[in-house]
Amino acid sequence: MLLSRDEARALDRRAMDEWGVPGLVLMENAGRGCAELLVRLGIEGRVAVCCGKGNNGGDGFVIARHLDNAGFRVAVCLFADPAGLSGDAAVMYRILAHGGPPVTAYPDGAVDEAQLRREFARADWVVDALFGSGLTGALRAPFDGIVRAINESPARVIAVDIPSGLDSDTGLSLGATVRAHHTATIAAPKKGFVRPEARPWLGTVHVIDMGAPRRLLEAATKSGPKA
């Protein structure tokens, strides 16, 4: 089954408001599931986790924490001001900052692409946790440059939920778009994933369970198209 952008949002909201599942639990489950997937895929060196300021970035903080707990070398690049984080993402950042892997923050948008390329060149994996399925417009600076640095790196790339820059409903690139080797999509594949235009960006798609009640997920996808 597939989820549209609005259905994915509604699933999160209903899980929290109607079923009483805290947002932190959903984020923890999603991030831990992504980290476990990375371990199964094989990690042979450093993992660079690229985080935005929203919930996708929050998933990235959880991924970094669990990989660090498992003994892997992890570096986190936060493309936001830590003081500006809010909600569940802010909570997950505070947990990570208490003693997790090093975090390099780029709070003012001044990103040195050459520096990022050097950072990613030393990584076995780059995790794209910049933007989730809610993105509807083209990425602007500095994120277009960040995406270029990711795509030009020799590292394997895994996108959290959806490659940043891809429209989740149409499967079309909105401009600068992360070209992932693997996509760890949360709860269910997104509507646009079945479009042929999406395939070069997605790589292999894996579905990550975030812990939403099964009946709620079935209801959310019942009327949608089948994958």
Taking only the tens place, the pLDDT of each residue in 209-225 is: 999 988 888 887 664 44
Whether the Cβ atoms of residue 63 and residue 165 lie closer than 8 Å to each other: no
Report the number of distinct structural domains present in the chain. 1
Residue 227 lies in a domain: no
* Alpha-carbon separation of residue 62 from 27, 29, 56, 58 (angstroms): 8, 9, 10, 7
Q: How far is CA 15 from the centre of its chain?
A: 20
Residue 151 sits in which domain range? 5-164+172-221
CATH of the domain at 194: 3.40.50.10260
**Interval 10-56: pLDDT, tens:** 999 999 999 999 999 999 999 999 999 999 999 999 999 999 999 99
Residue 89 lies in a domain: yes
What is the spatial distance between Cα 64 and Cα 103, in angstroms, rounded to a whole number?
10
Overall pTM surpassing 0.85 (yes/no):
yes
Residue 146 lies in a domain: yes
**Interval 158-214: pLDDT, tens:** 999 999 999 999 999 999 999 999 999 999 999 999 999 999 999 999 999 999 988
Q: What is the distance between the terminal CA atoms of the chain, rounded to a whole angstrom?
A: 5
**Interval 116-125: pLDDT, tens:** 999 999 999 9
pLDDT at 225: 44
Is 55 strand, coil or helix? Answer: helix
**Interval 130-158: pLDDT, tens:** 999 999 999 999 999 999 999 999 999 99
